[in-house]
Amino acid sequence: MIVSKIDLVSSAETSHESAEPLESRGLSDRAIVRAAREIIAEVGVGGLTMRRLSTELGVALGATYHHVATKHGLLMLVGKDLYSEVTPPERMEGPWQDQLKTVMLNLASIVGCHPGMANFMMLHVDELIPVDLNVMVRDTLLEAGFSERSIAAVLSAFFFYVAGMMSTGSVVGPTATSIRGQNLMALFEDGLDVIVAGAEARLAEDRKQKRARR
């Protein structure tokens, strides 16, 4: 465990990737994604325009298209960038309930700051979600004793709940809204707890079945 952490740090500090130019003069994908994220954070995906993005970057429309072939491709880059910021697996500790809640709250807070991205990110989870995150979440549940089928069911419940909540409005961050006086953030956590309780019940069943089979 400690080894992998050290490895991560050192490789991150010393990585001078082979022949990749550090700052290919002119536009870089990194700069484009950064600008796109800023625009989305400010006016949402609906307000993100290839023209506006180009203006923000100080280039002509065609230049942007030379680096990212399509708006869909641009959003894929942004989505991958956002997913990559979700709590890194190595730092997780404690019971599986807390781990799952932390990941979901983290995901919600990141996506919540970028209105309109939730949908797109959920529509392409499979292609965008970092393998680390996926593996770690599944491992956590496996270690806790969940069956394969239960893992699928529980993750389905969690992910789509977060997706639905995020699609409906900014829940987290400075723009957190409220519904009929209800604090949306509190409501979000309450719903999360309901699903956690459901997962616990599922786990109890899984363990009972495992014992019966022995």
- Contact positions vs its own copies (CB under 8 A): 119, 122-123, 125-126, 149, 152-154, 156-157, 159-165, 167-169, 179-180, 182, 187-188, 190-202
Q: Of 7-15, 70-78, 105-113, 203-211, which segment contacts DNA by CB under 7 A?
A: 70-78
Residue 48: CB partners within 8 Å, gap ≥ 6?
Answer: 36, 39, 40
Choose the one of DNA, its own copies, none that binds residue 172, judging by a C-beta under 5 to 8 angstroms depending on kind: none
Residue 160 neighbours by CB distance under 10 Å: 12
Choose the one of DNA, its own copies, none that binds residue 70, judging by a C-beta under 5 to 8 angstroms depending on kind: DNA
Which residue number, 61 or 204, has a Cβ lying nearer to its own copies?
A: 204
Which residue number, 61 or 123, has a Cβ lying nearer to its own copies?
A: 123
Q: How many CA atoms lie within 13 A of 37 on its CB side?
A: 19
Choose the one of its own copies, DNA, none that binds residue 30, judging by a C-beta under 5 to 8 angstroms depending on kind: none
CB of 171 to DNA, least distance (A): 25
Which residue number, 62 or 174, has a Cβ lying nearer to DNA?
A: 62
Dist. CA 207–CA 53, nearest whole Å = 53
Binding-residue pattern over the window 131 to 170 for DNA, x denoting contact by CB under 7 A: ----------------------------------------
CB of 57 to DNA, least distance (A): 8
Choose the one of its own copies, DNA, none that binds residue 162, judging by a C-beta under 5 to 8 angstroms depending on kind: its own copies
Choose the one of its own copies, DNA, none that binds residue 71, judging by a C-beta under 5 to 8 angstroms depending on kind: DNA
Strand partners, 183: 178
Could you say which residues in the range 7-36 bind DNA, by CB under 7 A? 24, 26-27
- The residues binding DNA (CB under 7 A) are 24, 26-27, 48-52, 59-63, 65-67, 69-72
